[in-house]
Structure 1
Amino acid sequence: MSEVVTYNRDGSIGVITVNYPPVNALSHAVRSGLLAALEQGEQDADAKVLLVVCEGRTFIAGADIREFGKPMQEPGLPSVINRIEDASKPVVAAIHGTALGGGLEVALGCHYRVALASAKVGLPEVKLGLLPGAGGTQRLPRLAGAQKALEMITTGDFVAAGEALALGILDAVEDGSDIRAVGLAFAQQIADAGKPVRKVRELTDKIDADKGSDVFERFRAGLQQKARGLFAPFKCLDAVEAAFNLPFFDGLKRERELFMECMASPQRAGLIHAFFAEREASKVKGLAKDTPVRDVRSVGIIGAGTMGGGIAMNFANVGIPVILLEVKQDALDKGLAIIRRNYENSAKKGKLTQAQVEERMALITPSLAYEDFSQVDLVIEAVFENMAIKKEIFARLDEVCKPGAILASNTSTLDIDEIASATTRPQDVVGMHFFSPANVMKLLENVRGSQTSDEVKATVMDVAKKIRKVGVLVGNCYGFVGNRMLHQRGAEAMALVNEGATPQQVDKVLTDLGYPMGQFAMSDLAGIDVGYRIREERRKAGENVPASWMDKLAEQGRLGQKTQAGVYKYEEGSRKPIPDLEVEQLIAAFRQEQGITPREITDQEILERCMYVMINEGAKILEEGIADRSLDIDVVWIFGYGFPAYRGGPMFWADQIGLASILDTVKRFHDTLGGEQWKPAALLEQLVREGRKFGDL
């Protein structure tokens, strides 16, 4: 008998217990242990019903990530589940925590399912570029019907126990916290009632009800929009459809064929890389695991604008009180009104109750006085990009904040060390760069200054987890990791338009690659004035920042979506960018002023110039130690800038393209276009010379 799966009897119930911390993943030991325990239970004449239950905080939460990329050892999960379903005695799954992926497939192979009210179930394989490969696409629709099975499997979203009960996925849901007691009581009911083995594969009511309907045709049409560019969701759909068109075991065979197609897809490799990179990014190189973390129980935020308000929501959402500071009452009132409207909109969509809206609003205290920050544990400054103003603010914070309070700037480009120089405690100063909208975007780019203490670094990474962000710790330079690369792409996109491309052509190349929006549409979303202020700051600092037709847009008050006109125009209530003749004329006039004769530019040139300039800059960032690992850059771009996760991030994508090919193109552009941005990174040259990849570092 496996040590991680045990069998014992409680009265007339044979109990199969899985205990494989931390999440009872389906390792080889668990799979073989389940078979052995099932065998023992069937041979136990006094056991009338068998119960599968898990120790710890969750039911089986999926595959064992420690076995990813390794050859599968027998028994495989499909054969384990088929064996459970073929058991001679009723088998009950008792679910607490989460039953995900293979865990839910195991439960679907059981004859009955009971769960705690707090439990959730789901088949999230699609998020790794895969589909449920152990019968999930064949059994789930037999319980939940085609529509809900398609929604769950193509999105990978979880379903709460109450909804799972209503859908027919579960047979009972109970309050309480003792899953073993709940499972035993339910199994005893099955035994007392003499209920038979009930195989999900033999249920046909919902299959028959949806046969011949247009549900698959309609869902496929919707998927073309929702899953544009993705491979696995469409294979998921094909697999679920097989459940309605084929006998069960033929459907299983089709599921396996489609699963192997997903396994062979480059998207699967990209998504797996993104999955592991997200987890690895939280482990900061050179930071000891036992580094003390400061307790952050209250937060001060300076600036009640879009960014400050969004940051405040992140903390209120997890029960951490916030003091929100503004210089004028009307700005404070406006900011609070926007926060309330955001919460009210969530309530209208059923994501929050009205009571939760009021609870969260009550956690945000408005203020016009810095002195109110005297006892907070963390202050985040979120005013616009102006070094003089930021230094003035940090000098004031230095006066009023208690010793040990962390002073953070939400700056997206400015020097953290210079900001820290306005204080007497540079060891407590750090960058916490949130992304807009801050209450939605998952990335938190934490920026270490040259004197930031390890304790502060560890604390801001811990804060990221608490507020459900993906934290990445990076070094201090202009633009850090994300914006430093973005500004190179932005400059190249501008140059391409100056030379003859249109903004919509550049944007289409980027969205065809998988970005949710292109460079210019993104500028409109962020606000044309944001980039304009940054360029003005750089000019004031003495940098040679070339003239831009984007500056003219800002000066004309065309600030993007918020004014319904930027690079594109926008109709009331719509975010859809519409090409604007006025902008075309402005660009044409700018070319004439600069003496530029426009030329035809291919999509391939746009792709190479926008993307390879980023890769080259990423290599320089790694050389300089601004990012410790290429995966840190990938995580920043996936979660902060919408780089398609199925391509694994820009540095992983570069490895897939081939660094030798990229270096040749970078050299060609350096010869033809010139510019420091096209000077090949020494690291890129070294990797090509050694036949290595960024991922090998």
Structure 2
Amino acid sequence: MSQSSIRWEKDADNIVVLTMDDPNQSANTMNALYQKSMGETVDRLIAEKNDIAGVILTSAKKTFFAGGDLRLLIQATAEDAPKLAAELKEMHRQLRGLETLGKPVVAAMNGTALGGGLEIALACHHRVAIGGTKAEFGLPEVSLGLLPGGGGLTRVTRMLGIQNALMSVLMQGPRMKAEKAQSTGLIDELATDADDMLAKARAWIKANPNAQQPWDKSGYKMPGGTPSTPALAMNLPAFPANLRKQTKNANYPAPKAIMSAVVEGAQVSFDNALTIESRYFIKLATGKQAKNQIKAFFFDLQKINGGGSRPSKDTYPVWKAKKVGILGAGMMGQGIAYVSAMVGIEVVLLDQTVEAAERGKAYTKGLLDKRVSKGRMAADKAEATLALISTTDSHTDLAGCDIVVEAVFEDRAVKAKATELSEANALPDFLMCSNTSTLPITGLAKASKKPENFIGLHFFSPVDKMPLVEIIRGDETSDAALAKAFDFVLQIRKTPIVVNDSRGFFTSRVFGTFIMEGMAMVGEGYHPVSIEQAAAQAGMPVGPLAITDEVSLDLGRKVRVQTEKDLAAEGKTLPDHPANAISDRMMDEFGRFGKKAGKGFYDYPEGGKKVIWPGLIETFTKADKVAIDESEFEELQARFLYRQAIESARCFEEGVLTSVADANIGSVFGIGMAPWTGGVLQYINYVGLPEFVARADAFAAKFGDRFTPPQLLRDMAASGKTFE
């Protein structure tokens, strides 16, 4: 008997329970064995349907179904299109066979059903899931540069209607808990546990012996109408306009394909809609952008969260922080306090005065109150979470802390004092962490009596929203300390990347190239709107001039001056950058320091939206740069991406970065590198090493040495290697 991933059991009521249980994997995926097993199972159901009262489809794994096999999909090329088309056609045959069986079919979802897993469930007539768990449901393919190709797009459109399908499920690809999925319409019924789930499934089958999908019933009408319905037709032209606004016209083919497939598919029969869906899916799956996003947001992220950069768990078992001391209750400290308390860690929030610490605690209260008001948290749970944070102005209250995070001013003396006082009061072997964004950790650790326990934890603002933490290992940081830091970041539900010590580390160093390139373009005479638009259409979330205002120009100069002093002490000099002259003129000649001063590259009228400062155009913009052609605009976009990628390659060459996954995820989650690129090093793969080096050399000849590719890239281009 051939191997199968689906078990068949028929009970006394003639209800067949199909249990998906791949014998070769910890999760069920749409691999070759599943495709064969489901095909055989559906054929058997059709052959024996006269002896069947109904079907329950469930899983023996922790998850219901994990979706498509991305290991195979990431390798797909244009030459594989016919094979993909045949596989999709067979998948559609199987799921159509299931839903047109003439017998009630229920999906009993015992765990997560995302992507292909939910597509299977959507082909059932009724969906039951266990409520109150961490299980997630949704069609998140858009985040991987894809669309649901197993019939999910077509089915959810006919279930919910065009507008609801696009806005609630497909365009953003949200992952929903069972309760949210039920309110959205993806799940029909919630159960308390596995037994209740199966009981509800059996009861529904008995109550609905002639179940059909709505779209297979005579007289079916799509909710909200089709594109020919006058009310919907009147609103349809706004859909692509809103999409362009959301994506800023950047390089994101998946949302465009989803919208097209939904609207086109809604105008034809169900089976023809599946064909349309398949064609769009194949075009995306064989394209380069999807490979970028699959590598970054599945494989790279999986590697990081799986501990790819963590010392071995065999040597250093998983550790959990019990009490964290946070020095500084400002913007960063208050955010760290919130995310720590949210996972049940006791927090000591310390500032120069108790009043200042209380203001920091109030930040957590505000966020908790918002969660309660939106029904996302019970009031008593919020109260208990807030109670985990104690405020103080005395370092003696750090007693019992097994980890301390200092988030004080970027001043070596202030940070050294914070380290000294922490070591005098916290637990003997506590983990000392600095939230510095630029100062080398090895130097800061000199203030510690135990530099092996000193490490950098670079958070991003706002801490409650930003998913990344950059862990910086100093020269003397031990493996034990690194393991603890890694575990703490996962404990507070953030994504950790690990880098070695250097000036600016990885994220700050690379982020600096983006904003400085924008200022360099101002100096070259480009119109500021062209600069900001080029960054947006390259895929960056905020333009370089706007973000420079947010950071403030004077902070940038302080970092530059400190770096010049540090390098001078080492007998080195900081190479000049054309951005420096622009920054200095903005401050010294025009008194414009950024948003906090109310004026920078933008004006900030009270109660109004920010606008480009007219004097910026009058002072710097050249007449021949006001209107630029498409090729010159594309060059501006490329410069933003190339500068970040080149600097990242230098970090890799210097050993600051040791993991491609850390580089890619760190750049997207930490500094907003265009997600469609898959991250800074994947972008180089996307362009192609030889092509990237050639264009970087051309940029270096035209704009300066900052574009000169490191030898590492030249060697990789010559040998045919890529960043893996």
Q: Residues 185 and 492 from structure 1, CA distance in 2 versus in 1: closer, same or farther, beyond 3 angstroms? A: closer
Q: Distance in 2 between matches of 1:673 and 1:164?
A: 52
Aligned-pair CA distance for 1:480: 1.0
Q: d(CA) in 1 for partners of 2:208 and 2:92?
A: 28
Q: What residue is the counterpart of 1:250 in the other structure?
A: 272
1:219-618 aligned at under 5 Å gives the runs 219-228=239-248, 229=250, 230-275=252-297, 276-282=299-305, 283-284=307-308, 287-290=311-314, 291-348=316-373, 351-541=376-566, 543=568, 548-551=581-584, 558-572=592-606, 576-583=609-616, 600=625, 602-603=632-633, 606-618=636-648
Partner of 1:691: 720
The match for 2:667 among 624, 637, 653 is 637
Range moving further from structure 2, 402-411 or 285-294? 285-294
Contact 1:16 1:34 in 2 (8 A): no
- The answer to whether structure 1 residue 650 and structure 2 residue 650 are counterparts is no
- Per-residue deviation, 1:376: 1.5
Pair 685,501 (structure 1): closer, same or farther in 2 beyond 3 Å: same
Distance 1:411 1:80, change over 3 A: same
**Structure 1 runs not aligned, ≥5 long:** 592-596
Q: Which residue of 2 aligns with 1:622?
A: 652
Q: In the alignment, what sits opposite 1:80?
A: 94
Structure 1 residues 13-47: Cα deviation after superposition (integer angstroms, max 9, x where no partner): 22111124534223222232233344555638764
Are 1:130 and 2:146 counterparts?
yes
1:156 pairs with 2:173: yes
Aligned length: 682
1:36 to 40, 65, 84: 40
Per the TM alignment, residue 515 of structure 1 is displaced from its structure 2 partner at its CA by 0.5
> Which residue in 1 is equivalent to 2:80?
none
Q: Which amino acid aligns with 1:694?
A: F
Please give the alpha-carbon distance, in whole angstroms, between the structure 2 residues aligned to 1:532 and 1:312: 30
What is aligned with 1:147? 163
CA contact under 8 A between 1:59 and 1:103: conserved in structure 2? yes
State the SS of the aligned residue for 2:66: coil
Which region of structure 1 is more displaced relative to structure 2, 364-373 or 603-612? 603-612
Q: Distance in 2 between matches of 1:23 and 1:257?
A: 28
The 3 A distance-change label for structure 1 pair 138 and 493 is: closer
The whole-number CA distance in structure 2 between the counterparts of 1:462 and 1:523 is: 33
User: Who is 1:112 aligned against?
Assistant: 126
Structure 1 residues 422 and 113, CA, compared in 2 at 3 Å: closer, same or farther?
Answer: same
Shift of residue 453, structure 1, vs aligned partner: 1.8
2:319 match: secondary structure: coil
AA in 2 matched with 1:17: T
Which residue does 1:55 correspond to in 2?
60
The 1:669/1:86 distance shift into structure 2, 3 A limit, reads closer
Is 1:94 the counterpart of 2:108 in the alignment? yes
- Once the 2 structures are TM-superposed, how far is the Cα of residue 617 of structure 1 from its aligned partner? 2.1
Q: 1:286 to 1:434 in 2, by over 3 A?
A: closer
Deviation at 1:159, TM superposition (A): 3.6
Structure 2 CA distance, aligned partners of 1:66 and 1:672? 41
Are residues 210 and 358 of structure 1, via their aligned partners in 2, closer, same or farther at CA, if it must alter by over 3 Å?
farther
Choose 164-173 or 108-117, whichever is displaced more.
164-173
**Secondary structure of 1:113's match?**
strand
Identity of aligned residues (%): 30
Distance 1:285 1:494 in 2: 35
Contact 2:74 2:294 in 1 (8 A): no
The corresponding residue for 1:15 is: 17
* TM-score of the two chains, using structure 2 as the length reference: 0.86
Could you tell me how far apart the structure 2 residues matched to 1:428 and 1:11 are? 64
User: Is 1:682 equivalent to 2:711 in the alignment?
Assistant: yes
Q: Which residue of 2 aligns with 1:197?
A: 211
Given that 1:374 and 1:402 are in contact with CA atoms closer than 8 Å, whether structure 2 keeps it comes out as yes
Measure the CA separation in 1 of the matches of 2:293 and 2:310.
Answer: 27
Contact 1:108 1:200 in 2 (8 A): no
1:658-673 equivalences in 2 (<5 Å): 658-668=688-698, 670-671=700-701
Residues in 2 aligned to 1:558 and 1:482: alpha-carbon distance in whole angstroms = 26
CA 1:23–1:200 in 2, change beyond 3 Å: closer, same or farther?
farther
Deviates most, 297-306 or 34-43: 34-43
Residues 604-640 of structure 1: CA distance to partner in whole angstroms, max 9, x if unpaired?
A: 5544544433333222211121111333222111111
The CA deviation at 1:666 is 3.8
- Answer yes or no: is the 8 Å Cα contact 1:109–1:200 preserved in 2: no
* SS of alignment partner, residue 694 of structure 1: coil
Deviations 1:218-238 (A, max 9, x none): 443332222332211121122
Displacement of 1:559 after TM fit? 4.8
- Secondary structure of 2:612's aligned partner: coil
1:409 offset after TM fit, Å?
0.8
Q: How far apart are 1:551 and its partner, in Å?
A: 4.9
1:89 CA drift (Å): 2.8
Q: What corresponds to 2:202 in structure 1?
A: 188
Equivalent position amino acid for 2:200 in 1: F
RMSD over aligned CA atoms reads 3.0
Structure 1 length as normaliser, TM-score?
Answer: 0.90
**CA offsets, 1:380-425, max 9 Å, x none?**
1111211221122112222222123111111111111111111121
* Paired residues of 2:42 and 2:94 also in contact (CA < 8 A): no
Distance 1:142 1:674 in 2: 55
| Aligned residue in 2 for 1:594 | none
The question of whether the paired residues in 2 share the 8 Å contact of 1:58 and 1:97 is answered with yes
Mapped to 1, the partners of 2:41 and 2:702 lie a distance apart of 69
1:68 match: 73
Equivalent residues of 1:315, 1:467 under 8 A apart? yes
Letter in 1 for 2:243: L
Secondary structure in 2 matching 1:210: coil
Judge which range, 359-368 or 412-421, deviates more.
Answer: 359-368
Cα separation, 1, equivalents of 2:177 and 2:220: 23
Quick one: structure 1 residues 41 and 673, their matched pair in 2 at CA, closer, same or farther if it must change by over 3 Å?
A: closer
Q: Give the Å deviation of 1:144.
A: 2.2
User: How far apart are the structure 2 equivalents of 1:22 and 1:65?
Assistant: 15
SS in structure 2 at match of 1:421: helix
Whichever residue aligns with residue 32 of structure 1, its letter is K
**Are the structure 2 counterparts of residues 540 and 59 from structure 1 closer, same or farther at C-alpha, using a change threshold of 3 Å?**
same
